[in-house]
Amino acid sequence: DIRDIMKHPPWGSFVAPDETNYMMMHCIIVGPEDTPYEKGFFYFVVTFPSDYPMTAPKVLFMPTGAGKVRFNPNLYKCGKVCLSILGRKHAVAHCPQPSLVRFCPLTWPRPEWSPGLNLTSILVSIQSLLCEKPYHNEPGYDTERVPGDSVRYNNILRYETLR
């Protein structure tokens, strides 16, 4: 898996192994065009458990701005990445402020980790979060609470992405 992704990373992604820990990868995802994330670089640290691929790796988002900006409803300021395929509790051990981490609510049936998934699956799933209207990624936010919320959120994200 690691050799394959080093040779053929998903489009818009860059990966590099950690120099001191062979069970850790550093990943950059470039913000997709025509989204509030365009021209941004989003850094993730992926740590593989000893029983990988039977167990999902731990993924930590390393946000800019000293963790003051929540770049997406699924990317928390503390570094938590809320993806069903990673499991509900995966970020607690990696969050510098565990008390701030809430488990992803069970709002709909979703896929869980399976040994057939890999780092490419994770990076592509994270890329899908960096969409044109991320406001609507939040469960229950299919429509705006106040007209213009989505546009205002995108404007904040554009500014913070380029800052």
Domain ranges of the chain: 2-162
Catalytic site includes residue 104: no
- Please tell me the predicted confidence (pLDDT) of residue 141: 86
CA dihedral for 110, 112, 116, 120, sign (positive or negative)? positive
| Bridging pattern class, strands 41-47 and 58-62 | antiparallel
What would the pLDDT profile of 106-144 be if each residue is shown by its tens digit?
A: 445 567 899 999 999 999 999 999 999 999 988 888 888
Tokens 């705006």 belong to residue: 144
Pick the CATH number of 2-162 from 3.40.80.10, 3.20.20.450, 3.40.50.12280, 3.10.110.10: 3.10.110.10
Mean pLDDT of 4-32: 95
What would the pLDDT profile of 62-99 be if each residue is shown by its tens digit?
A: 998 778 889 999 999 889 999 989 985 554 444 555 55
Q: Give pTM, 2 decimals.
A: 0.86
Question: Cβ contacts of residue 18 below 8 Å, gap of 6+?
Answer: 24, 25, 26
- Within 10 angstroms of residue 41's Cβ, the number of other Cβ atoms is 12
Q: Which of 27, 78, 82, 104 is catalytic?
A: 82
